Amino acid sequence: MKTAGFQLGCAPKRIGFISTRFHGTDGVTLEARKWAQLLEEMGHSCFWMAGLLQAPPETSHPVPLAFFGHPEVAELQSRLFGVTRRNREITTRLQTLKERLKDELYRFIEKFQLEVLIPENILAIPMHVPLGLAMTEVLAETGLPTIAHHHDFTWERERFTLNGVNDYLQAAFPPLLHHVEHVVINSMAQKELARRFGIPSQIIPNILDFETPPPGLDDYNADVRREIGIREEDWLILQPTRVVQRKGIEHAIELVRQLRDPRAQLVISHPAGDEGSAYMAMLNERIADAGIQVHFIADRVAETRGRTPDGRKVYTLFDLYPHADLVTYPSLYEGFGNAFLEAIYFGKPVVVNTYAVYARDIDPLGFKTIEMDQLVTRHVVEQVRAILSDAALRQSWAETNYALGLKYFSYAVARRKLTARLANLFGEGV
């Protein structure tokens, strides 16, 4: 039900979301859309600027140069990292791109008469240094109230350690400005941001709509198993992530190998990321050595339902979850863990590697999971066999986990905290 903004302590505002992309199912895009949904339910109006953009034209300001994959940007970025200095020509090119992007940011603000800005991750991780600099200067020049939503930071990615732009990183990733409310997604980021920059922040974790029951089987998705080649009696073990090294997919392969059961079928839902082909090649070798069934179905999964060019059905990730018997989430590192939330939302048992954010922010809350610590041990395999063979235990875990998700990671949590951020910026409400 739509709630008027003034009832929540802040008059309706015109809010602009800005990032390199709002497209597809990456974590930044998903969380930004959830925030926008909540803000619009409060009575605010939301608008979008990005390099890759999926949004209604009447609320959009597409800027191809804002995408980190734009040829000019990608070439420049390759000259900024993995080096210890940059030459004057590189600085000039960077500043030129920054000025072009500043012009677009001002056009976006003026076009939609924006009153609040929400930069999504562009002031945290330097995937696009000119955009971060442009955003910082626009904020400093306009004084527009801002909620900077940070998902990943420079120090959390090894590939940014050696660089020739530390002066810019210190100034803009993130900037310390009085009219900016900083939001992070976990307590480790909050502590590091305070320690490194003296910047206070609030935690708004990733969320799911636990107030609304999950969708189940319908006429469209009832045939998922048949369509991807899995029998009803098989165990559909879902790895609902991209194929990138930090997802630890080799552990999911090892788990299926150690189960030694022909019913165990690993399904990987997303494509390879933008980190090269070496990891995929390694996984293929592991699969061949293990002699197991692995289904790569990225060509059958998209953000919305549809058809492939040859007429086959395309499903959403939420079409897959109801069919899963087990979810694997053996990530080595995550800023939060959307796939974990999705698994408990759909009442599925999950095998989770105890990555740092999970260990600090999620595990103490009491979720029922099968935990592994970098290794697929015999104990982990035995726990998986037990949960797959005990429907009553699965149901008990599902009920416990859903209740905890509702308490800690529901839309109500973000709604309350976003209202407080706006109240801090505008001095309205409490």
Q: Is residue 145 located within the same domain as residue 272?
A: no
Q: Is residue 391 located within the same domain as residue 368?
A: yes
Q: Which helix (H) or strand (E) holds 22?
A: strand 21-22
Tokens describing residue 95 = 């500043």
Q: Rounded CA gap, 244 and 247, in Å? A: 6
Domain membership of residue 213 (yes or no) is: no
Residue 95 is predicted with a pLDDT of 98
CA atoms within 13 A on the CB side of 193: 29
DSSP assignment of 288-356 equals HHHT-EEEE-GGGB-SS-EE-TTS-EEB-HHHHGGG-SEEEE--S--SS-HHHHHHHHTT--EEEE--H
The total of other beta-carbon atoms located within 10 Å of residue 277's CB is: 9
Q: Is residue 374 located within the same domain as residue 422?
A: no
Domain membership of residue 218 (yes or no) is: no
Q: Is residue 169 located within the same domain as residue 306?
A: no
Helix 88-112 to helix 129-142 angle (10° resolution) is 50
Domain membership of residue 392 (yes or no) is: yes
Residue 303 is predicted with a pLDDT of 86
Domain membership of residue 219 (yes or no) is: no
Write the CATH number for 398. Answer: 3.40.50.2000
Q: Is residue 173 located within the same domain as residue 190?
A: yes
Residue 323 is predicted with a pLDDT of 98
Helix, strand, coil percent content, the chain, rounded in steps of 5: 45, 15, 35
Residue 3 is predicted with a pLDDT of 42
Low-confidence ranges of the chain (pLDDT < 50): 1-8, 430
Domains identified in the chain, total number: 2
The domain of 388 spans 224-408
Domain membership of residue 185 (yes or no) is: yes
Q: Is residue 251 located within the same domain as residue 294?
A: yes
- Which residue type sits at 342? E
Q: Is residue 143 located within the same domain as residue 50?
A: yes
Q: Is residue 239 located within the same domain as residue 270?
A: yes
Question: Taking the model in full, what pTM does it have?
Answer: 0.90
Q: Rounded CA gap, 124 and 425, in Å? A: 20
At 31, is the secondary structure helix, strand, or coil? helix
Q: Is residue 111 located within the same domain as residue 33?
A: yes
Q: Is residue 86 located within the same domain as residue 157?
A: yes
Residue 274 is predicted with a pLDDT of 61
- Which residue type sits at 348? K
- For residue 46, what are the β-bridge partners? 15
